[in-house]
Amino acid sequence: MSKNNIPNPARGRKISAFASAKIDFSVLAEIGVDDVQALRPAWSDAQCMEFLRIHGDTVGREMAMAGAIALAKIIMGGSRGN
């Protein structure tokens, strides 16, 4: 169980296909080495980490903006959210 007593059926297994989301009265999204390697399979872990070090802030800002837009659309009734 999570800290809010909400069961987590994914505990112990990998969640992310491209990015993972955890619901805990907030939504957290994460991009990691595996996600970069899904798009650049020839890259080493070190190359992926360097890419994320250089571009992480930009990726994070874009993810936050996309999430804010989706949230606004859902709240305003423009999308079902799925």
pTM (whole model) above 0.85:
no
Instruction: Name beta bridge partners: 27.
Output: 23
The residues, any chain, with a CB within 8 Å of residue 1's CB and separated by 6 or more, are: 7, 8
The DSSP line for 27-81 is: EEEE--HHHHHHH-TTS-HHHHHHHHHHHHHHHHHHHHHHHHHHHHHHHTTS---
pLDDT tens-digit profile, the chain (82 residues): 444 444 545 455 555 545 555 555 777 889 999 999 999 999 999 999 999 999 999 999 999 999 999 999 999 986 665 5
What phi, psi does 16 have (nearest 5°)?
A: -80, 125
10 Å CB burial of residue 36 (0-12, 13-18, 19+) is buried
